[in-house]
Structures are given as C-alpha cells and as structure tokens.
Amino acid sequence: MEVMGGSAPLLSVRGLKKYFTIEKGMASFLMGVGKARVVRAIDSVSFEVSEGEIFGVAGQSGSGKTTLGETIARLYLPTAGQVLFEGMDVSLLKGRSLKEFRRKLQIIFQNPYESHNPRFTVLDTVEEPLKIHGIGSKRERAEIARDVLEKVSLGPPEKFLDKYAHELSGGERQRLSIARALTLGPKLLIADEPTSMLDVSIRAGILNLLRILNQEAGLTILIISHDLSTLTYLCRRIAIMYAGRIMEIGPAPQVINDPRHSYTQALLAAVPDPDPDHETDAAAFRGRAMIDGGWVAGLEREGRYGVGISKVSGEEPKYMEVSEGHYVICEQS
C-alpha cells in the first residue's frame, strides 16, 4: 500500500509484526513431545494516521487489533517493522525521549472496571500522570484535575474528587479513564473498545465526548472496536483486520457501503437487523487464525474481488486500490 493518510502523518505504521511464542505444556515437556508454537498476532500491517484524524480499526476477537494498539503505544516491542510517531521510530526511544513519547501518546483500556487503582481517589487518579512527569505544584495539579474533569463531564468536580473508582458508574469510570489520558495534553489517543463494557444508553455520551475532543481540541484518535456502527459514526477511515493482517482499508463510507472483501462483508452481515424479512449471508466467511508457519483462511467467495488468500507463511501482503484511497488485500500465489 502507498501512503493512505495525509501528506504529513502523525503516526506511520510500516510492515509491523508482533509474534508471541507459546511454550509447550508441562506434560509435553516431561514426555519430550510437542514443540513451542508461534502466534502471529500482527503480521505485516501498514497504515498512516494524519494529525487531527479519527482512524478506526475493526475485527473480531483475536484479530490482533488490541495487540496492534498496544504495540503502537510501545507496551510491546515489535518483532519486525516500524512504528513512527512524528517521524521517530518508537522502538528506538530511550530515557527522556521515551518519556516525552509517553506524554504525547495515551491509551484508554477496554475495561474501566479493571484499569483503575482501587486505592486511588478520582483526584489521585487524574494527578498521577502529572506527578510522574513532574508537572506543576500540588495546587496547579489540583486545578488541572478540576479542568479535565469538567471537560469529560464529570462535574461539578468537587462531587467526584474524593470518590473511589468503585463508587462510580461504568460510564463515569470510562470518563475518568479519558480524563486521566487527557491530563498530559496528548497528541494521539488510542481508545481500545472504549464503549464495549458500557450500557447502550451510556455509549452515545462517550462517543460524543470523543468526537468533541477531536473537533474542538484537534485530538488525533485511533479507535479500536468490533462494532462497525461505532466506527462509522466516528471515523473518517477504517481498517478491517483478520488474523493479524489488514484485509481492507479506506474511507469509512466506502468500506461500509461498498465492502470488497468477504471478511468485511461477513462482519457487516453479522450486524443485527431489526427487519425480520431481511435475509443476510452471515455464513459467507469461513476462516481461522493461523498459528506456526502461516495462515490460510478460507476466504472463499466466488465472483468477489480480493477474497482469496493462500499460502501466506512469511510473504508480504499485496493490495489493490479499488477506488481512491480504498485498498483490498490481493490473492497471493
């Protein structure tokens, strides 16, 4: 794929790979049978995100999208490839430059019920990043905390500052997660399934908050979700992942309304339809994530472009531009 973002991308992911080794179990070890296996969680992923953009990554559980976000944030070091942030290779950063990167890129984790220290008050939670980076006096940090709580609609702040996470609702906890991420004034926010643990009635408020932060503060957001309706609502461009690779990427309206890959079509067919008379082809896709030498995924659907993938095992994926900015993975020989 050629450049698919703006002329000066804030984030550039180039041929990114992340493999995990699964050691054989104790019984196999004692019996001297079996071998370690390699899981290709991310396998040759490339894309760019422009400053001020909301970019979406979709796929089923196990597709590698969360590992992708965590590798971009350098919670994992890549097996191969590059993550360039403001032109700098993230994997090479050390010391002060790494700390500055941590300040500019923040991540919201999927589960707001497990991502907060139960011994911290709301004030402690929001102030912690400021303390780590040595920002402001005690009074100044408290003022920043109040401002950011107001920004995420946890107000009046005095009502929340002394509360603990268990005293908050699910929506309030996720807003607290966003507040914590915003205290350092990041340039890029990675939101991993930011609404999946929340009631439907609360999701719209969180999504609107992310959109406001993007429009009013110019915050660049990479949002990870299995919910295509969420990504369609928020994103300018969407990438569809399966088995560690991007199957399709392009402008959100084109990917959703004119999907060219059978996996994208299957994801859309799986979305519940309130019309009982509307028939879907949810069984159009058959496949599996690959372990060890390669992955062959049963992406068979005759008469559709770009649906075939065969004998991967170390080969770099090839893409065809089917319309302006809209790419689909090609069949490989």
* Number of neighbours of residue 199 by Cβ within 10 angstroms: 10
CA–CA separation, 70 and 277 (whole Å): 41
* Domain extents in the chain: 9-258
Of 91 and 284, more confident:
91
Question: At residue 218, does pLDDT exceed 80?
Answer: yes
pLDDT tens across 22-39, in order?
Answer: 776 666 656 666 667 788
What is the DSSP-derived secondary structure letter of residue 100? H
CA–CA separation, 268 and 102 (whole Å): 35
The phi, psi pair for 226, rounded to 5°, reads -95, -5
Q: Give the least confident one: 1-10, 104-113, 124-133, 192-201.
A: 1-10
Q: What does pTM read for this prediction?
A: 0.84
Q: Give the least confident one: 66-70, 94-98, 163-167, 314-318.
A: 314-318
Q: Are 307 and 297 in contact (CB under 8 A)?
A: no
Strand ranges for 99-161 from DSSP E: 105-108
Pick the CATH number of 9-258 from 3.40.50.620, 3.40.190.10, 3.40.50.970, 3.40.50.300: 3.40.50.300
In the sheet where 245-251 sits, what is the strand order?
105-108, 188-192, 220-225, 54-58, 237-242, 245-251, 326-329, 319-323
